[in-house]
């Protein structure tokens, strides 16, 4: 899930090593991949669901995330680094809808299978070492989460101070949610890093232990390998921070971020194209019947 045109389809194709040209995603699309962890062993199957429409179709996450799939489910959030004014709204909207849905499932599971519900809740705390100093400062997402900052090549042309604010904010958000963070672009080397994180979740491959936190380079931070002390305070002066009223650390970071990058007032729904007009879904007989129905409705409207 993530921004429109952020490169979600490209990332999935790269993970599955498919040489195809990406097409625009309509609503919710499904594909799968097979991979063996070791030679001469049975292949595991990973199911990939891609949510189109940015934030406008977020409720569709109820289809793939169910009480039957939740134990092996993970979320990959793709954020377009070239559009910082849309970044926080996209992230907040999609994660909030997903978290609310997952929590509803867990509440039901507690009544029917308390052991599984407890296992899922505990699993997210396992990403942090027990002696990690930030245990009381974070609020792990209820299922595994990877945040991918896409279009790093465009982002890299930004002013260094802008890059620093975006990088620092995404480091905080990722650490707060117990998520992995990686910046990527069309560069093969960066796509391979994103692929490594996703394959860890999808096929159980070993988790990478390399870390890159230098704001002048693409970030790569697997879950649990960052800390609040390394991230530092929100990027604002002490006097500005003193004027901000916030109930939580997340809210404070949001207000600081949106001071530099005011959120755009946009509506994803207005940009959602009518799939009936898309040539890739053309079906002659269906389209003829639809045209006849439209004409009949129009004539009835005139008679009224």
Q: How confident is the model at residue 52 (pLDDT cuts 50, 70, 90)?
A: confident
Residue 104 confidence (pLDDT): 94
Residue 19 confidence (pLDDT): 76
More confident residue, 194 or 129: 194
Average pLDDT over all residues of the chain: 86
Residue 264 confidence (pLDDT): 78
For 155-184, what is each residue's pLDDT tens digit? 999 999 999 999 999 999 999 999 999 999
CA 197 distance to own-chain centroid? 13
Residue 301 confidence (pLDDT): 60
Q: What percent of the chain has pLDDT over 70?
A: 92
Mean pLDDT of all residues in 81-100: 94
Residue 125 confidence (pLDDT): 85
Mean pLDDT of all residues in 259-283: 65
pTM of the model: 0.84
Residue 161 confidence (pLDDT): 93
Q: Assess whether pLDDT exceeds 70 at residue 90.
A: yes
Q: Assess whether pLDDT exceeds 60 at residue 268.
A: no
More confident residue, 192 or 99: 99
Q: What percent of the chain has pLDDT over 90?
A: 44
64 Cβ partners below 8 Å, 6+ apart?
28, 30, 47, 49, 73
Residue 236 confidence (pLDDT): 86
Residue 300 confidence (pLDDT): 66
Q: Residue ranges per domain, the chain?
A: 8-272
Q: How confident is the model at residue 242 (pLDDT cuts 50, 70, 90)?
A: confident
CB distance 36 to 44 below 8 Å: yes
Mean pLDDT of all residues in 46-61: 88
Say how far apart CA 67 and CA 49 lie, in whole Å.
16
């Amino acid at each position: 899930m993530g921004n429109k045109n952020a490169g979600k389809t490209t990332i999935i194709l790269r993970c599955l090593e498919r040489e195809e040209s990406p097409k625009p995603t309509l609503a919710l699309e499904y594909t799968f991949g097979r991979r063996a962890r070791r030679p001469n062993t049975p292949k595991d199957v990973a199911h990939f669901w891609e949510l189109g429409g940015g934030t406008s179709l977020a409720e569709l996450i109820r289809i793939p995330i169910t009480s039957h799939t939740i134990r092996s489910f993970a979320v990959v959030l793709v954020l377009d680094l070239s559009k910082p004014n849309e970044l926080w709204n996209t992230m907040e909207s999609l994660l909030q809808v997903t978290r609310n849905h997952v929590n509803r499932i867990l509440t039901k599971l507690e009544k029917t299978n308390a052991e599984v519900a407890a296992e899922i809740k505990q699993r997210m705390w396992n990403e942090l070492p027990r002696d990690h100093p930030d245990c009381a400062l974070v609020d792990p997402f209820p299922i595994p989460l990877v945040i991918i900052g896409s279009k790093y090549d465009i982002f890299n042309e930004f002013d260094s101070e802008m890059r620093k604010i975006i990088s620092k904010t995404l480091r905080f958000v990722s650490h707060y949610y117990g998520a992995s963070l990686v910046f990527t672009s069309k560069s093969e080397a960066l796509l391979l890093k994103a692929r490594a994180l996703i394959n860890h979740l999808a096929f159980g491959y070993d988790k990478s232990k390399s870390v890159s936190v230098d704001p002048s380079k693409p970030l790569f931070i697997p879950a649990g390998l960052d800390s609040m002390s390394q991230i530092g305070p929100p990027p604002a002066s002490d006097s500005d921070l003193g004027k901000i009223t916030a109930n939580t650390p997340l809210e404070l970071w949001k207000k600081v971020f949106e001071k530099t990058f005011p959120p755009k007032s946009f509506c994803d729904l207005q940009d959602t194209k009518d799939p009936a007009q898309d040539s890739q879904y053309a079906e002659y007989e269906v389209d003829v019947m639809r045209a006849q129905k439209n004409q009949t409705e129009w004539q009835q409207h005139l008679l009224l």
